[in-house]
Structure 1
Amino acid sequence: MNRNWILPVSIASVAALGVATLGGTITDLGPWYEALNKPDWNPPRAVFPIAWTTIFALVAVAGVAAWRAAPNSRMSDTVIGLFALNGFLNVLWSLLFFRLQRPDWAFAELTLLWLSIALMIAYCNRFSRLAALLLAPYLVWVTVAGTLNWQIIKLNPAFG
């Protein structure tokens, strides 16, 4: 690995691990979550850590690719800002859904999370097709999560 990659890869790895760890510690799959009515197509519990680990790895690689491909420092700073905002929104969703036990608020916030991913893809695609492609599974997964979140709201009258 070229030495120019060491710092960005290290920072992206630590950031992705930090977001994943924080989101994971906020996520509580205890009695409240288990008692929620969920749609029949709800993925098995084992799917979530595999999907999120893959997504965070792809996001970290996409962030480095986009940052390195940015044609100037203003655009590379924008990449960092977009990824940081997205990390914040990702953790915020877990906080709203699991800690505050408000799937309805989480769904509203999830639209911002989804838009932040779409914005990252559009922005990064201007100079790194690779970064945009690596972010696509994240958008698909959050779309599925949003659909699941919406179904939980509909199936649980307290939130509807």
Structure 2
Amino acid sequence: MTWRDWYDALDKPTWTPEPSTIGLIWQILYPIILVTFGYVFYRVFRKQIPWSVAVPFAINLLANIAFTPIQFGLRNLPLAALDIAIVWGTILWAMRAIWPHHRWVAFAQIPYLVWVTIASILQFSITWNNW
């Protein structure tokens, strides 16, 4: 069974966006993530802000990258739910960590936080419905 057949067969909420819509949202968010996260890592490598500020950004990147293989490769809904909770939590942590240094980076994370909040609710719903 392909990942798409598997995903289509899951019991999902009626408000679940189409995969193409989800893809479009990520196409908008990834440039924001690239610029802001890149800026943070650049500042850390230049020793202009403490390395501890970059920790939540790094964890977020790893968790974000891990989600698709967990969800669609392993097809492990509980682990994907845990992963997206880590993504959500590290966005908040990153916003708080960068706030004293570069507030614009924290503000730029708001669309990412909004989408991941929606995606988290969706993931938790899908996980619960297919437990």
Q: Secondary structure at the match of 1:146?
A: helix
Contact 1:68 1:76 in 2 (8 A): no
Q: Per-residue CA shift, 1:124-158, capped at 9, x if unaligned?
A: 111111100111111111111110011112222xx
- Residue 115 of structure 2 corresponds to residue 141 of structure 1: yes
Judged with a 3 Å threshold, the aligned counterparts in structure 2 of structure 1 residues 87 and 61 are, in CA distance, closer, same or farther, namely same
Relative to the length of structure 2, the TM-score reads 0.84
Judged with a 3 Å threshold, the aligned counterparts in structure 2 of structure 1 residues 44 and 59 are, in CA distance, closer, same or farther, namely same
Judged with a 3 Å threshold, the aligned counterparts in structure 2 of structure 1 residues 35 and 120 are, in CA distance, closer, same or farther, namely same
Judged with a 3 Å threshold, the aligned counterparts in structure 2 of structure 1 residues 63 and 127 are, in CA distance, closer, same or farther, namely same
1:48 counterpart (22, 35, 48): 22
| Structure 2 spans left out of the alignment, 5+ residues | none
Give 2:49's aligned residue.
75
- Residue 4 of structure 2 corresponds to residue 30 of structure 1: yes
CA distance in 2 between partners of 1:46 and 1:139 (Å): 20
CA distance in 2 between partners of 1:43 and 1:91 (Å): 20
The code of the aligned residue for 1:140 comes to V
The code of the aligned residue for 2:16 comes to N
Computing the radius of gyration over CA atoms, which structure comes out larger, 1 or 2? Answer: 1
Q: Among the aligned pairs, what percent are the same residue?
A: 26
TM-superposed CA distance for 1:84, in Å, is 2.5
Relative to the length of structure 1, the TM-score reads 0.71
Give 2:60's aligned residue.
86
Q: Secondary structure at the match of 1:126?
A: coil
Q: Which moved more, 1:79-88 or 1:103-112?
A: 79-88
Give 2:95's aligned residue.
121
TM-superposed CA distance for 1:69, in Å, is 6.1
Contact 1:55 1:137 in 2 (8 A): yes
CA distance in 1 between partners of 2:14 and 2:24 (Å): 20
Contact 1:69 1:127 in 2 (8 A): no
- Residue 43 of structure 2 corresponds to residue 59 of structure 1: no
Q: Per-residue CA shift, 1:85-111, capped at 9, x if unaligned?
A: 211101222222111111111112221
The code of the aligned residue for 2:72 comes to F
- Residue 97 of structure 2 corresponds to residue 131 of structure 1: no
Give 1:150's aligned residue.
124
| Structure 1 spans left out of the alignment, 5+ residues | 1-27
- Number of equivalenced pairs: 129
